[in-house]
């Protein structure tokens, strides 16, 4: 806790204002928007995994759920404000129920991984099979593997005719990410966040101190899902279509790769990892020499083997050693990820 809270907020605001101003000069805002959205999605997993020790193999489920909730609600309601709120709430409630089931059953590690992965698959399979006309929610046809196109996209609250798209939409997404980032910062500085880190480090001890570990993990899990849901809704607006691929295992894998590459246990890492890798994928998509799935896979393997802490912590400690800060900063220990030794 080197810096005070207000310093932290100031630095965040200044840096993000500069990035929001500078980046559109280099990359098109259309591409940037999706990088920002992926950054938010990365942050959602980075929060629950890096600070809560909950490895979720199905973060894509909440992302997809947010996107679908938005699309279905927008078709039925015809404006975007309430659908945005629902897109945050529905995944959060879903995650709270799922989390309560898992954490009160004291499931950890592999079992958590299996269940989150399986739940993602259930959603994927189910949504994929809803091509028939009988699958309708209100006025919205689920559309199966074709997805749902043609829903009302983001509008100025209260005025369904005033669409927000193009450059302004990028600024909306970027500001949303900054706000989420600040909220996460605040959360981690609060007692709740510090207790969550305690639980990541040693669940048994926290239980013996009198903390209801299962309840706290459930809440944290739901918060992560809410952020993922918001990212999903923003993504739906960006793509103007939602498809079952949002729920796919590949999507879940990518979120995990972002966090590993960026660095767990940091707030910046997952965002940097997400935006960086998504941009890399975008660049790779422009050529056909090398398959980009292969590149992503290779990156994941290499990071797990050689730089399991991720880029951001590694760069930070490199800078520290170069500039020889004499601050007593103990060597950051590798986070306990595996429980079986």
Q: Does 194 bind another protein (CB under 8 A)?
A: yes
Question: How many Cβ atoms are within 10 Å of 339's Cβ, its own excluded?
Answer: 10
Q: Does 106 bind another protein (CB under 8 A)?
A: yes
Q: Which two tokens stand for residue 101?
A: 């089931």
**Least separation, in Å, of the C-beta of 228 and another protein?**
19
Q: Does 196 bind another protein (CB under 8 A)?
A: no
11 three-state secondary structure: helix
Name the region of 335 (left: φ>0; alpha: ψ -120 to 50; beta: rest): beta
Of all helices (H) and strands (E), which one includes residue 136? strand 136-137
Q: Which two tokens stand for residue 274?
A: 């997400």
CA distance 335 to 341: 12
Q: Does 201 bind another protein (CB under 8 A)?
A: yes
Q: Does 305 bind another protein (CB under 8 A)?
A: yes
Give the nearer residue to another protein in terms of CB position, either 25 or 338. 338
CA 123 to mean position of chain CA atoms: 18
Task: Please compute Rg for the chain using Cα positions.
Answer: 20
**Least separation, in Å, of the C-beta of 100 and another protein?**
11
Q: Does 9 bind another protein (CB under 8 A)?
A: no
Window 66 to 105, contacts with another protein (CB under 8 A): 101-102, 105
CA 212 to mean position of chain CA atoms: 25
DSSP assignment letter at 1: -
Q: Does 5 bind another protein (CB under 8 A)?
A: no
**Least separation, in Å, of the C-beta of 163 and another protein?**
36
Interaction site with another protein (CB under 8 A): 55, 101-102, 105-107, 109-111, 113-115, 117-119, 121-122, 125-126, 128-129, 191, 194-195, 197-198, 201-202, 204-213, 249-250, 253, 256-257, 260, 290-301, 304-305, 308, 328, 330, 333, 335-341
């Amino acid at each position: 806790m080197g810096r005070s809270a207000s310093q932290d907020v100031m630095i965040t605001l200044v840096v993000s204002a500069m990035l929001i101003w500078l980046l559109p000069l280099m990359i098109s805002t259309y591409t940037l928007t999706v990088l920002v959205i992926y950054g938010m999605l990365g942050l959602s997993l980075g929060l629950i995994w890096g600070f809560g020790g909950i490895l979720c193999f199905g973060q894509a489920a909440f992302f997809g759920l947010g996107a679908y909730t938005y699309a279905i609600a927008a078709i039925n309601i015809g404006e975007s404000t309430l659908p945005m709120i629902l897109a945050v709430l529905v995944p959060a409630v879903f995650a709270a129920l799922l989390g309560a089931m898992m954490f009160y059953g004291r499931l950890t590690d592999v079992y958590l991984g299996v269940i989150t992965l399986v739940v993602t698959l259930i959603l994927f399979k189910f949504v994929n099979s809803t091509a028939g006309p009988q699958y309708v929610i209100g006025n919205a046809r689920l559309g199966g593997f074709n997805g749902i196109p043609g829903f009302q996209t983001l509008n100025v609250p209260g005025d369904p005719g005033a669409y927000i798209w193009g450059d302004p939409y990028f600024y909306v997404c970027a500001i949303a990410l900054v706000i989420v980032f600040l909220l996460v910062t605040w959360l981690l500085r609060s007692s709740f966040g510090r207790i969550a880190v305690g639980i990541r480090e040693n669940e048994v001890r926290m239980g013996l101190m009198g903390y209801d570990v299962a309840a706290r993990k459930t809440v944290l899990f739901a918060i992560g899902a809410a952020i993922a849901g918001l990212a999903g809704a923003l993504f739906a607006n960006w793509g103007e279509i939602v498809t079952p691929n949002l729920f796919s295992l590949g999507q879940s894998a990518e979120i995990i790769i972002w966090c590993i590459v960026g660095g767990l246990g940091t707030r910046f890492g997952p965002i940097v990892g997400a935006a960086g890798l998504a941009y890399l994928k975008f660049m790779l998509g422009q050529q056909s020499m090398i398959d980009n799935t292969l590149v992503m896979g290779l990156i994941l393997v290499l990071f797990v083997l050689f730089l399991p802490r991720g880029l951001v912590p590694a760069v930070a400690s490199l800078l520290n050693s170069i500039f020889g800060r004499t601050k007593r900063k103990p060597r950051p220990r590798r986070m306990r990820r595996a429980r079986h030794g």
